[in-house]
Amino acid sequence: LEDVQVGVDPRDLPFRLPVQYVNRPRTTEHPDFRGYSGRICSGSVAVGDEVAIANLRRTTTVTAIDVVGEPTDIAFAPQSVTIQLAEDIDIDRGDVIAAADRPPRLTREITATICVLSDTSISTGQRLLARIGPKTVRAVVGSVVDRLDLETLEHAAHTDELATNDVGTITLRFADDVAIDNYNDLRTTGAFILVDDQDGSTLAGGMTRS
């Protein structure tokens, strides 16, 4: 309970925009238009702000913002927006545009708390997919650190797997760099789901701890 965020306005948190769509209409009127569309999950952004493309370790400046097709000087969570940047950067779906002075962590390994949601257990060495917002990345379970005993609320170490409805701690290694926040700091960009890499079924929900 001490970790529960109470009364936190998402607009007061660091800016995060996971890119859901790269908008390049290539029309006669706008032959060079390149916009990055998505839903602001925390913070705010204004024309002229310096932002970081976290996955690419690049910074640039916001030159325009559209909300529902109308230009605006500033936008807030949870608005859906299209923003334009000063530089043409090879941004893909799932990349995170963030506050330049408070960017997310870029990493290939995390420690996380997960809850197993399927009949398939989670075990050390298991290969699967991690979905963090609109980004999907291949991952492997590095280790199962512990399992939470739901009766005593104690963490039992030395376990090899987590079964259905188990809550526990794992380490997770990604095939690519991933921009991610600790769940206690930013819930939307600190949460993820684990997916079977064969049939696409959901295996577990997770919260990044470190």
Residue 190's SS3 state is: helix
Tell me, what's the pLDDT at 4? 45
Tell me, what's the pLDDT at 88? 87
Tens of pLDDT, residue by residue over 90-147, are 999 999 999 999 999 999 999 999 999 999 999 999 999 999 999 999 999 999 999 9
The pLDDT confidence band at residue 7, using thresholds 50, 70 and 90, is low
Share of the chain above pLDDT 70, in %: 94
Tens of pLDDT, residue by residue over 39-75, are 999 999 999 999 999 888 999 999 999 998 899 999 9
Task: Please give the model's pTM, rounded to 2 decimal places.
Answer: 0.86
Does 8 have pLDDT greater than 60? yes
Phi-psi category of 72—alpha, beta or left, where left has phi over 0 and alpha has psi -120 to 50? beta
Does 11 have pLDDT greater than 80? no
Share of the chain above pLDDT 90, in %: 78
Does 185 have pLDDT greater than 90? yes
From CA 47, how far away is CA 60, in angstroms rounded?
12
Using CA atoms, how far residue 46 sits from 73, 93, 204, in Å, is 6, 21, 36
Catalogue all structural domains in the chain, each as residue range(s) with its CATH number: 10-99 (2.40.30.10), 105-208 (2.40.30.10)
Average model confidence (pLDDT) across the chain: 91
Is the preceding peptide bond at 25 cis, omega within 30 degrees of 0?
no
From CA 6, how far away is CA 3, in angstroms rounded?
9
